[in-house]
Amino acid sequence: MKTVLVTGAYGFIGKNLVATLEELPNFKIIKYGRDDTFKDLKTYLSKVDFIYHLAGVNRSENILDFKNGNTSLTEELVNTLKFTGRKIPILFSSSIQAELDNPYGISKKNAEDILLEYGKENNANIYIYRLPNVFGKWGKPNYNSVVTTWCYNIANNLPIQISKAGRKLNLVYIDDVVDEFIAALNECENRNHDTFCSIKRTFHVTLEELAKMLYSFKESRKTLIMQNFDDDLHKFLYSTYLSYLPENNFGYNLKMIRDKRGWLTEFIKSKEFGQIFISQTKPGITRGNHWHHTKVEKFLVIQGEAVIKFRNIKNEDIIEYKVSDKELEVLDIPPGYTHSITNTGNLDLITLFWANEFFDSERSDTYFKEV
Residue numbers annotated as active site = 104
Residue 351 CA to residue 278 CA, distance in Å, equals 6
Q: What share of the chain is helix, strand, coil (3-state, %, to 5)?
A: 30, 30, 40
- H or E stretch including 134? strand 133-135
Residue 313 CA to residue 337 CA, distance in Å, equals 6
Residue 296 CA to residue 193 CA, distance in Å, equals 53
Q: What is the CA radius of gyration of the chain?
A: 29
- H or E stretch including 266? strand 262-270
Give the SS3 label for residue 233.
helix
What dihedral angle (degrees, nearest 10) is formed by the CA atoms of 252, 257, 262, 264? -70
Q: Which are the contacts of 147, defined by CB distance < 8 A and separation ≥ 6?
A: 133, 135, 139, 169, 171, 210, 237, 240
Cβ–Cβ < 8 Å for 299, 279: no
Q: Buried b / exposed e across 220-244, counting CB within 10 Å, b at 16+?
A: beeebebbebeeebbebbbbbbeeb
- What's at 134, amino acid-wise? V
Give the SS3 label for residue 223.
helix
Cβ–Cβ < 8 Å for 69, 55: yes
Residue 156 CA to residue 160 CA, distance in Å, equals 11
Task: Check the CA dihedral 82-83-89-92 and report its sign.
Answer: negative
The most distant pair of C-alpha atoms in the chain lies apart, rounded to whole Å, by 92
Q: How many residues appear in the chain?
A: 371
